[in-house]
Amino acid sequence: AQSVAQPEDQVNVAEGNPLTVKCTYSVSGNPYLFWYVQYPNRGLQFLLKYITGDNLVKGSYGFEAEFNKSQTSFHLKKPSALVSDSALYFCAVRPRNSGYSTLTFGKGTMLLVSP
Amino acid sequence: ETGVTQTPRHLVMGMTNKKSLKCEQHLGHNAMYWYKQSAKKPLELMFVYSLEERVENNSVPSRFSPECPNSSHLFLHLHTLQPEDSALYLCASSQGSGRDQNTGELFFGEGSRLTVL
């Protein structure tokens, strides 16, 4: 069975500073990996995904994530945080041959960016 | 403007009521999903429909009954719910129905906030 761990319930960072939201996963074989963001009272929005190729994936709103196979991690990063980045972030994983896009999500990490 | 529309956005119901949640996707996708989001818990996949056939049912109680009349519409019928069923119910859709045709990107609606009294 696949699983996703987001070890931090909350990450606090000052505006302008770099941010990292951590994610590790457990899945058999090579996974597809995703980050989603959820703003208050909204649904989840897709940020970026790793399929294959370059381990550094660039996504929406200046976010990027680095796939590390040996550490089974897919941490979300941004060089300079904005107050508007404050939201709930979800990491998700799907085995490559599972079909029907049955993603397994982590429990989410709340990112708070202070002015 | 999301391509997946959910109604109602908020619903309050008693334990003996019958209500339905509706989801409509305008993206031409052929797979649709219901997820349950409770506070401080991971998202729980409830049902998956691919090409209008139910392909996954994750041990969801029978008081939740899904219906997918066509590839654009998905319903979740609710009856005799419990207070612990109070949550945000999210609908999503994706493109492709076969193995590896779909790399997994889900498009979510805004959710229906359900409160069971």
Give the model's confidence band at A101: pLDDT under 50 very low, under 70 low, under 90 confident, else very high. low
How confident is the model over A49-68, as a mean pLDDT? 92
Q: Name the average pLDDT for chain A.
A: 91
Contact A32, A94 (CB under 8 A): yes
pLDDT at B91: 96
For B57, name the nearest residue in chain A, comparing CA atoms only. A102
How confident is the model over A20-40, as a mean pLDDT? 92
pLDDT at A1: 76
Torsion of CA A71, A52, B35, A105, to 10 degrees: 10
pLDDT at B40: 75
CA A50, A58, B42, A11 dihedral sign is positive
DSSP state of B99: T
> Could you tell me the CA-to-CA distances from B55 to A11, A92, A100, B46, B73 in Å, in that order?
37, 20, 8, 11, 16
How confident is the model over A96-100, as a mean pLDDT? 65
Q: Which helix (H) or strand (E) holds A35?
A: strand A31-38
pLDDT at residue B99 greater than cutoff 90: no
Contact B22, B73 (CB under 8 A): yes
Residue in B42, B50, B113 nearest the CB of A100: B50
pLDDT tens digit string along B7-62?
999 999 988 889 999 999 999 888 899 999 998 788 888 998 887 777 777 789 99
Residue in B48, B103, B108 nearest the CB of A51: B103
- Whole-angstrom distance, CA of residue A8 vs CA of residue A107: 10
Q: How many degrees, rounded to 5, is the angle at CA A90 between CA A31 and CA A38?
A: 140
pLDDT tens digit string along B72-95?
999 999 999 999 999 999 999 988
The structure tokens 């999301």 sit at B2
Lowest mean pLDDT segment, chosen from A20-29, A101-110, B4-13, B89-98: B89-98
Cβ–Cβ contact A52 with B under 8 A: no
How confident is the model over B101-114, as a mean pLDDT? 83
Cβ–Cβ contact A45 with B under 8 A: yes
pLDDT at residue A110 greater than cutoff 90: yes
Give the model's confidence band at B100: pLDDT under 50 very low, under 70 low, under 90 confident, else very high. very low
Contact B20, B11 (CB under 8 A): no
- In terms of pLDDT, which residue wins out, A50 or A29? A50
- Whole-angstrom distance, CA of residue A107 vs CA of residue A114: 23
pLDDT at residue B6 greater than cutoff 60: yes
- Whole-angstrom distance, CA of residue B79 vs CA of residue B65: 8
Residue in A32, A46, A100 nearest the CB of B56: A100
Q: A64 - beta bridge partners?
A: A58, A77
